[in-house]
Amino acid sequence: MAVFTLKEILEATSGELHHFDESAGSISDYCVDGVSTDTRKLTEGNLFIGLIGENFDGNTYAFQAAKDGAKALILSNLDHAPEDTPAILVPDTKIALENLATYYRKRQNFLTVAVTGSVGKTSTREMLGSAIGVCKRTYCTKNNENNEIGLSKTILETPEDTEVLVLEMGMRLRGEILELTNIAFPDIAVITNVGVAHIERLGTRDEILRAKLEILEGLAKNGLLILPAKDEYLQKAVREGMIRPDVKIAYFSTDDQDLPTGGIGLAYAGPVSFEDDKVNFTATVGYDEKQQTRLALSVLGQHHVGNALAALLCGVYLGLPLDKLTDGANQFAPIGHREKMVTVEGVHFIDDAYNAGPESMTSAIATLRRVSGTAKAYACMGDMLELGDVSAEKHFEVGCAAAREGLDGLFVIGDFKESVMEGVRSVDPSIPVVLCQDKKDIVDKLKDIVKPGDWALLKASHSFEMYTILDEYVSIFREVEC
């Protein structure tokens, strides 16, 4: 947790100091311990920053913050500031938060890794944390704190003895990654892919590519950029000179075919097999010299192979032993509503409901079919949001993918459920597609169809909260038992 003197806070924010009693000592000696933006979570000795949102004004909580033990305040007005607590007046408290985070990141000089991409940011972030964390004191973004406020707070919550800081960077519009990278100034950047997420807002994948490449604006001189070898848009960026000439590039590939040349480092996987609930493969990793290691990831989805390769590339670049990195990667476990397996009355659910886009949806369907084997497999699906003009097309393609994988049925809600059904029927009209009104309707129909030994996938964009289907399904059997 960050400790600052008043002098450092003033230097970082260019603020104006008020209500400071010089009898308490000099501004070089007066310290705060930790930063809070929420009086409900504030602890004694914190610096309180009064952020302003659509429905709240943190300035109005200044008195309460001081009462709860804040040793100093950052505010954009002093209307509610008590006169016995030092207050730093700034034009914009959000910018002050960002500037303070940048000051702390540079003061502590954490080795900083930033992860962005259309799909797989969080899993890659966690894989990096697992692999590198075996060798170095590592701190990672928590939950979904990947916007400018969340990233700034993550930096400020990082313990002072941290050696490697792993940050996730999210976006919806151009300029947002630019803001984040100029807070964090990463040493290493990982771009997982360029997909169609947020195409509704950005219009084209070329614009999405440019938005992701904004991460390079803050990347250190001669910094490392880790890219998937076969992402067509990122390879286009390399070919067309969209990458800063001083940036070093390393590639990862989930197979050993058509590997790129020109990068300083490379990681690729040998044949992937699935045994004992693990994804097994041999990784070849290195820069000047290549090494091999055998991984056994406790995951369901094959897409984690790429995440692990990116983590190994990063760790080897930092000079860490490959065997230790392998041990760390093998300890990785998905978090939240990502590939969580739950069995209820003999029915196996895959709760992958955290979020969804075309790439992750088709990957989840393939995983469902693989792990279910010869058992019956069903998908409970909602819409993939923010796809704009291609929404119907992408939902149709997901339906096609479900049919090609030979699912035994789909339960679908949302505005584009008919597009999913049309996609299924275009490949195999015999597969039943149940169009449901809402999640409760899915549960009502699901309980009459699935049997012990069957499998069911829960997947949709985050706002659908498809994981609550599992809660409702569990409650049905509790009622029966009562």
How far apart are the C-alpha atoms of 302 and 122, rounded to whole Å?
A: 16
Could you read off the pLDDT of 263-307 as tens digits, one per residue?
A: 999 999 999 999 878 999 999 999 999 999 999 999 999 999 999
What φ, ψ does residue 18 adopt, rounded to 5°? -130, 155
Q: CA 214 → CA 114, 169, 186, distances in Å?
A: 12, 11, 12
pLDDT level of residue 478 (50, 70, 90 thresholds): low
How far apart are the C-alpha atoms of 366 and 440, rounded to whole Å?
A: 26
CATH topology of domain 340-481: Protein-Tyrosine Phosphatase; Chain A (3.90.190)
Residue 9 contacts residue 107 (beta carbons within 8 Å): no
Mean pLDDT to the nearest integer, 15-25: 90
> Mean pLDDT score of the chain, rounded to an integer?
95
How far apart are the C-alpha atoms of 369 and 456, rounded to whole Å?
A: 10
Domain residue ranges of the chain, discontinuous segments joined by +? 3-92, 109-330, 340-481
- Cβ partners under 8 Å of residue 36, min gap 6: 42, 43, 46, 47, 48, 49, 65, 70
Could you read off the pLDDT of 104-116 as tens digits, one per residue?
A: 999 999 999 999 9
Helix, strand, coil percentages (3-state) for the chain, rounded to 5, are 40, 20, 40
The verdict on domain 3-92 having CATH code 3.40.1410.10 is no
Q: What percent of the chain has pLDDT over 90?
A: 91
User: Quick count: other Cβ atoms within 10 Å of Cβ 416?
Assistant: 24
**DSSP class of residue 59?**
G
Q: For residue 261, is it left (φ>0), alpha (ψ between -120 and 50) or beta?
A: beta
Residue whose C-alpha is closest to residue 72's, from 49, 100, 96: 49
- Cβ partners under 8 Å of residue 255, min gap 6: 268, 269
The one-letter amino acid code at 345 reads E
List, in sequence order, every residue forming a beta bridge with 410; answer none if it has no partner. 379, 433
Q: For residue 277, is it left (φ>0), alpha (ψ between -120 and 50) or beta?
A: left
Residue 70 contacts residue 46 (beta carbons within 8 Å): yes
Parallel/antiparallel/unpaired status of strands 340-344 and 347-351 = antiparallel
How far apart are the C-alpha atoms of 177 and 114, rounded to whole Å?
A: 10
Residue 82, judged by CB atoms within 10 A of its CB (0-12, 13-18, 19+), counts as middle
DSSP string, 151-164: HHHHHHHS-TT-SE
Task: Give yes or no for residue 58 having a pLDDT over 80.
Answer: yes
Residue 205 contacts residue 199 (beta carbons within 8 Å): yes
C-alpha of 273 from chain center: 26
How far apart are the C-alpha atoms of 402 and 408, rounded to whole Å?
A: 9
How far apart are the C-alpha atoms of 243 and 223, rounded to whole Å?
A: 11
Residue 385 contacts residue 417 (beta carbons within 8 Å): no
Sign of the CA dihedral with 319 first, then 322, 327, and 328 last: positive
Could you read off the pLDDT of 133-158 as tens digits, one per residue?
A: 999 999 999 998 999 999 999 999 99
Could you read off the pLDDT of 361-399 as tens digits, one per residue?
A: 999 999 999 999 999 999 999 999 999 999 999 999 999
Please tell me the class of the 109-330 domain: alpha beta
Residue whose C-alpha is closest to residue 15's, from 47, 57, 55: 47
Q: CA 150 → CA 109, 146, 259, 269, 390, distances in Å?
A: 20, 5, 37, 34, 30
What φ, ψ does residue 229 adopt, rounded to 5°? -65, -25
Residue whose C-alpha is closest to residue 125's, from 269, 315, 311: 311
User: Quick count: other Cβ atoms within 10 Å of Cβ 65?
Assistant: 28
Could you read off the pLDDT of 439-464 as tens digits, one per residue?
A: 999 999 999 999 999 999 999 999 99
Q: What percent of the chain has pLDDT over 70?
A: 99
**DSSP class of residue 336?**
S
| E-strand stretches of 324-469 | 340-344, 347-351, 377-381, 409-412, 433-435, 455-459
Task: Give yes or no for residue 481 having a pLDDT over 80.
Answer: no
Sequence-ordered alpha helix ranges (H) in 286-332: 304-317, 322-330
- Cβ partners under 8 Å of residue 442, min gap 6: 380, 411, 413, 434, 436, 469
